[in-house]
Amino acid sequence: MNRISWVAAPSRRLTLAAALAGAVWFSGSAAAQQPEVRIGWMGAITGPIAQLVPPILRSSQMAVEQINAQGGILGGRRLALASADGQCNAQGGTDAVNKLVNVDQVVAIVGGLCSGETIAGANAQAIPNGVVMVSPASTSPLITGLQDRDLIYRIVPSDAYQGQVMARMVWNQGLRRVAVTHVNNDYGRGLGGSFRDAFTAIGGTVTAFAAHEDQRASYRTELATLARGNPEALVTIAYGGGSGLTMIRQALEGGFFNRFIGGDGMRDDVLPRELGANLNITVTQPVPRTGNPSLETFQQMFTAVGGNPSSIFVAQGYDGAFALALAIQHAGGTDRARISASLRAITAPGGTVIRPGQWREAVAALTAGRRITYVGASGPIEFDANGDVPGNVAQWTIQVRTFVQGPTLSVN
C-alpha cells in the first residue's frame, strides 16, 4: 500500500445545498494575492440520477482540497471548483457548460455524468470555446465519434463494450429470449443498441426492442407489448431513479415480467428499497481495475472524509479532477489550448508514477523536469486517439436491499 500524503478531518454527507453552492472551498490571503485557478464540474444534480451524484461531486471536491492543502497549483495559486447542474438532459447540459465557460470562466471541466448532457454541452459550448471536458461516467458510444478537436475525454469505458459484456452475461445466465426497453436518449439508445446487436450475434433472440420516454406515470401499455413473444426477462436500459423504477414496479404489478437485466444507470439502491430485497435483477457497471494500489489509497482517503468508496463512479470523479489539475500544472498555466496535450502527457506510461493524493510529489517531479504518469483510483488512464479508455465491467446483484458487486465480466 502506498503512503497517503494527505489526511483530512472527517466530514459528513454532502448536502444538495452544498453541491449547488458552487465554486470555492477555501479562503485566505493567498487567494487574495493571486487569482484562483478555476475548473468546472458538471453533472445531473437534479433529475433521474440525482441521488447518485453527491458522492461523485464529493470525490472531485476531495481532489481539490488535497491540492490546496499541499501548496496549491501553479506556484501556490488556489484551485477552485465551480459546479453546474446538467439535469441529465441535452438542454441542461448546454446551459450548464455555458455557465461554466462563459460565467465562471473555468479552464477545464470534469463532467458530465449523463451522456446526453455531456454530448450537448460539448457540442454547444466546450468544443467551440476550446475547453477540455473529462467525463467520469458518460458511456454512450456516440462520444467516441464527436468531432471534438481532441477536447472531450472520458475515464469510463464506452457502452460499445458494456453492451457486449451484458449480452454475454445474459447468455451465460441461460436466457435466450429477452425483450429490451431503453430510455429515449443518447445513453439508452447507445447501450440498448449495443446489447441488442451483441446478443443476437451470439444466438440470442430479442423479442421486442422499444424506446420509452423518461419520467412518465405509466408504462403499462408498453409493458403489455414488450411481454408478447414469451421473453424470459426484460432488459431495462434506463435510470433506477427515473423510468426504471416505474417500469419494473408496473411490470411486477401487472405480471408482465419477474426477471430483469439492467446497465449502470439501474445500479441505484432505490430499486431494492422500493421493490424489496427479493427483486430479481442483475445489472452491469464499469468498475475500477482490481489489484491497483491507487484504488486502495483512494478508498482510505474517501472514507476518511465521510464518503462511501463503493458509490458509483466516485473513483472516476476523483480522477477527473486530479488529472485535470495535473494537466494544468504540466501546461504551466491556464491557457486552454495547452491542457489537452498536457492531459495526454501526464497519463502516458513511462514517467514517475503519481497516485491519488500525491500532489506534492507530482509538482516536485514536474519542477525537476521529469515526466509523470498518473495512475488513478480507477486504474491507469490509457486514452486512445478518441479520448476513450479500456476498462472493467462487473456484475451487480441485490443483497439485503443494496447492490453488491460480483465478478468482473468479459465478452468471452
Residue spans of the domains in the chain: they are 16-158+295-337
Identify whether 112 is preceded by a cis peptide bond (ω within 30 of 0). Answer: yes
* Residue 289 pLDDT: 85
| β-sheet with 379-380: strand ranges across | 352-354, 372-376, 379-380
Q: What is the mean pLDDT of the chain?
A: 92
Q: What is the rounded distance in angstroms from the CA atom of residue 240 to the CA atom of residue 40?
A: 27
As a whole number, mean pLDDT of residues 322-326 equals 98
Q: With contact defined as beta carbons under 8 Å apart, do 185 and 169 qualify?
A: no
pLDDT band of 32, cuts 50, 70, 90: very low
Q: Does the pLDDT at position 14 exceed 60? A: no
Question: Per-residue pLDDT for 1 more than 90?
Answer: no
Q: CB–CB of 158/127 below 8 Å?
A: no
For the stretch 228-259, pLDDT in tens is 999 999 999 999 999 999 999 999 999 999 99
**Better-scored residue on pLDDT, 280 or 14:** 280
pLDDT value of position 20: 36
DSSP collapsed to 3 states, 175-228: CCEEEEEEECCHHHHHHHHHHHHHHHHCCCEEEEEEEECCCCCCCHHHHHHHCC
Q: Which of 64, 219, 38, 203 is nearest to 131 (CA)?
A: 38
* Residue among 215, 63, 241 nearest 136 (CA): 63
Taking residues 294-312, report their average pLDDT: 97
| Residues 16-158+295-337, CATH architecture | 3-Layer(aba) Sandwich (3.40)
Look-up of cell digits 470523479: 317
Helix (H) / strand (E) element for 404: namely: strand 402-409
- Residue 329: pLDDT band (50, 70, 90) is very high
**Residue 98, C-beta contacts closer than 8 angstroms, at least 6 positions apart:** 121, 124, 125
pLDDT band at residue 30 using 50, 70 and 90 as cut-offs: very low
| Cβ atoms 247, 236 nearer than 8 A | yes
Spatial CA neighbour of 138 closest among 124, 153, 123, 148: 153
- Residue 284: per-residue pLDDT: 98
**Strand pairing category for 177-183 and 152-154:** unpaired
**Rg of the chain's alpha carbons, rounded to an integer?**
21
Rounded CA gap, 303 and 298, in Å? 8
Region label for 47, one of left (φ > 0), alpha (ψ between -120 and 50) or beta (otherwise):
left
Confidence of residue 34 (pLDDT cuts 50, 70, 90): confident
Residue 398 has pLDDT above 50, yes or no: yes
Q: Which three cell numbers stand for residue 53?
A: 451524484
What are the grid coordinates assigned to 112, written together?
458530465
